[in-house]
Amino acid sequence: MNLGPLRQRIRDASGMPDAVEAARRVGEIWSDLQEVVDLAEARMRILTRRLPDLPLAPTPPWLHDEIASLRQDVEEDSTAPAEAVLTSTQQIVRAFLQERSDVRATLCRFGPDQVEVTWETLGVIWLVSKPRVPWPGVSVRVYGAPGTRARSFCEASAVLRFSSTLTTLESP
């Protein structure tokens, strides 16, 4: 989908001297986009129920410890990631480990409802948020893939397909 013209319309509108007119135009675009997003979300809710289960690797000790540490943060701090984010993080990491058992990640909280997953040998970071649709629905933004821009995903197998194309970085 070519979103270039839409991006340009937003840039053009936001650069208008009349702020009221600029806000109206950008607001209209945003409203139209939100309608499309709402439709996509509704359809994904239906589709995720029909998707096959993704195989999940057993939880390795390091992942168990990382999730336990984040859960401890929840008990001590109301701004720590909610259980839905922790569950989603654990599921998508285990799904990735099912395909790439040779990798390891560190997890840390990133804001009130996000977990940062840093894949140590891939040089890639996943930012996991509370999913808007049931598993295998996810909300993952992937950063740092060499030669690519950040990408957002709403379905687990899409994260896995994208991430499986990443190669392990050479050790120094």
3-state SS track over 77-91: CCCCCCHHHHHHHHH
Number of structural domains in the chain: 2
- Same domain flag for 65 and 27: no
Least confident segment among 3-17, 29-43, 86-100, 157-171: 157-171
Helix (H, G, I), strand (E, B) or coil at 123: coil
* Residue 55 counted as domain residue: no
Contacts of 157 (CB under 8 A, 6+ apart): 51, 54, 136
* Residue 113 counted as domain residue: yes
- Same domain flag for 115 and 154: yes
User: Residue 81 pLDDT more than 90?
Assistant: no
Range of the domain at 29: 4-50
- Any idea what the Cα angle at residue 58 is, between residues 56 and 60, rounded to 5°? 125
- Same domain flag for 106 and 149: yes
User: Residue 47 pLDDT more than 90?
Assistant: yes
- Same domain flag for 39 and 94: no
Residue 118 burial by Cβ neighbours in a 10 Å radius (0-12, 13-18, 19+)? middle
pLDDT category at 96 given cuts 50, 70, 90 is: very high
| Structural element, H or E, at residue 168 | none
pTM: 0.82
pLDDT category at 172 given cuts 50, 70, 90 is: very low
The pLDDT value recorded for residue 170 is 38
Q: What's the token pair of residue 136?
A: 């295998």
The pLDDT value recorded for residue 165 is 74
- Same domain flag for 19 and 88: no
* Residue 13 counted as domain residue: yes
- Same domain flag for 89 and 146: yes
- Any idea what the Cα angle at residue 113 is, between residues 139 and 118, rounded to 5°? 65
- Same domain flag for 40 and 66: no
CA distance 24 to 31: 10
* Residue 102 counted as domain residue: yes
* Residue 158 counted as domain residue: yes
Sheet bearing 151-155, strands edge to edge: 105-109, 114-119, 124-129, 137-143, 151-155
- Same domain flag for 39 and 82: no
* Residue 156 counted as domain residue: yes
Contact 115, 33 (CB under 8 A): no
The pLDDT value recorded for residue 147 is 67
* Residue 124 counted as domain residue: yes
CA distance 145 to 21: 38
- Same domain flag for 20 and 73: no
Higher pLDDT, 163 or 108: 108
